C-alpha cells in the first residue's frame, strides 16, 4: 500500500473528546421541546479540551468522521489542529475508504453488516482487476433493508455489480456460522465495521459500507497504519473464521487459504456436513434473495 498520508491532529483520544463535546453541545435534545432529555436537568454546554492528551503507545491512530452538513456549526479546533467549516459537513471516512482501496497492492479485507455503496463495490472491482485479493465478510442472513432493496428495479445494476465480483477467483463474499450441539449450522450476524489493507493499514468504527453511513449518518472511525498490529488482527480474525493459524503467512497466501477454506465449507454446508471453521462462501448473485446461498 502506498501514497496514503494519514495526518494526525494530535493523539486520537483528544480528537474523540473533541468530537464528543461537539456532539453533546449541538446534537443533543436538551433544548428541544419534547426532546429526548430528562425534564429539569440542565447540564449546559460542555467545554472543548484545551490540551493534547499524553501519547500512550507507539501505534499512530487517526480519527475520521461522517458529519452531515448543517449538523454541527461550532468550528472550534481540537488542540493543535486547525478549524474548518464543519457546517458544510465532514466525509473523511468515505474519502479514506476509497483512497485506501485504490492504494491497495495485495489485499483488502472488509467485515461489515452491509454491502451498500456502489462506489466502494466499483473500486473493489478495480482492485480485483489489478490483482488484489479481496474478502468481504457479511451476515449470511442479510439485513432486511438489503433484502428489500433487491426488489427495487432501479437498483438492479448495483446488484449486478456485486455479482460480477464472483468472476474473480481472488474474491470471496463470505459469511460465518457456528454449529449447534446437534451439528445444525447457526448463522452468526456480523455487525463489525472493519477494513484491513495490505497487512499494513486498518480502520475500525461505526461506519457501515453504505452510502447513508458515508454521507448522512453521524459516524466515527479510528484508523491505524502499523504493520505488526494490522497483521496480528488479520491473523486473529482468520484463525477464528478458518481454524487456521496464518501468522506465518503473507497476506496473499493467507487470503488464498481463506478462499479455499470458505469454498470447501460452502460445499460442506450444501451437503449438510460439518464445516471446518466458521467461514463459508456466498453466491454473490443470490445474496439477499432468501436463505444464504453458498456455492
Q: Which domains does the chain have, with CATH numbers?
A: 103-281 (3.30.870.10)
| Distance, CA of 158 to CA of 177 (rounded, Å) | 26
Residue pointed to by grid coordinates 438492479: 156
Q: Which residue has the higher pLDDT, 176 or 7?
A: 176
Look at phi and psi of residue 34 and say left if phi exceeds 0, alpha if psi is from -120 to 50, else beta.
left
Nearest to 284 by CA among 159, 176, 134, 192: 159
Nearest to 175 by CA among 167, 185, 183: 185
SS3 13: helix
pLDDT band of residue 293 (cuts 50, 70, 90) is low
Q: Report the pLDDT value the prediction gives residue 159, as an integer from 0 to 100.
A: 96
pLDDT digits (tens, 9 = 90+) for 272-289: 888 999 999 999 999 988
pLDDT band of residue 13 (cuts 50, 70, 90) is low
pLDDT band of residue 3 (cuts 50, 70, 90) is very low
* Cα dihedral across residues 201, 206, 211, 217: positive or negative: negative
Nearest to 133 by CA among 99, 162, 167, 108: 108
For residues 43-55, average pLDDT: 82
Among the residue ranges 28-42, 63-77, 134-148, 165-179, the one predicted with the least confidence is: 28-42
Q: Report the pLDDT value the prediction gives residue 294, as an integer from 0 to 100.
A: 56
Among the residue ranges 31-35, 95-99, 129-133, 150-154, the one predicted with the least confidence is: 31-35
The residues near 102 (Cβ < 8 Å, ≥ 6 apart) are 123, 126, 127
pLDDT digits (tens, 9 = 90+) for 74-91: 888 888 888 888 899 999
Amino acid at each position: 500500500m502506498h501514497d496514503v498520508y494519514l495526518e494526525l491532529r494530535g493523539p486520537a483520544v483528544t480528537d474523540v473528546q473533541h468530537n464528543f463535546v461537539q456532539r453533546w453541545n449541538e446534537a443533543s435534545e436538551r433544548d428541544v421541546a419534547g426532546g429526548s432529555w430528562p425534564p429539569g436537568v440542565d447540564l449546559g454546554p460542555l467545554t472543548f479540551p484545551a490540551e493534547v492528551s499524553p501519547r500512550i503507545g507507539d501505534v499512530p491512530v487517526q480519527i475520521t468522521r461522517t458529519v452531515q452538513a448543517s449538523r454541527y456549526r461550532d468550528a472550534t479546533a481540537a488542540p493543535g489542529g486547525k478549524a474548518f467549516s464543519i457546517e458544510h459537513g465532514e466525509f473523511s471516512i468515505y474519502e479514506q475508504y476509497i483512497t485506501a482501496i485504490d492504494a491497495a497492492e495485495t489485499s483488502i479485507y472488509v467485515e461489515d453488516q452491509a454491502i451498500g455503496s456502489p462506489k466502494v463495490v466499483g473500486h473493489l472491482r478495480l482492485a480485483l482487476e489489478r490483482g488484489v485479493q479481496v474478502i468481504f465478510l457479511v451476515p449470511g442472513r442479510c439485513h432486511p433493508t438489503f433484502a428489500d432493496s433487491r426488489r427495487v428495479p432501479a437498483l438492479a445494476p448495483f446488484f449486478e455489480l456485486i455479482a460480477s465480483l464472483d468472476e474473480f477467483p481472488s474474491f470471496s463474499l463470505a459469511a460465518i456460522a457456528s454449529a449447534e450441539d446437534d451439528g445444525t449450522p447457526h448463522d452468526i450476524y456480523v455487525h463489525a465495521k472493519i477494513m484491513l489493507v495490505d497487512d499494513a493499514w486498518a480502520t475500525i468504527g461505526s461506519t457501515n459500507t453504505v452510502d447513508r453511513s458515508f454521507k448522512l449518518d453521524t459516524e466515527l472511525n479510528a484508523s491505524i497504519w502499523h504493520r505488526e498490529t494490522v497483521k496480528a488482527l488479520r491473523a486473529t480474525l482468520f484463525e477464528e473464521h478458518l481454524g487456521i493459524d496464518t501468522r506465518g503467512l503473507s497476506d496473499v497466501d493467507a487470503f488464498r487459504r481463506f478462499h479455499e477454506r470458505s469454498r470447501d465449507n460452502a460445499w460442506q454446508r450444501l451437503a449438510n456436513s460439518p464445516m471446518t471453521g466458521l467461514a463459508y462462501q456466498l453466491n454473490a448473485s443470490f445474496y439477499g434473495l432468501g436463505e444464504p446461498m453458498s456455492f
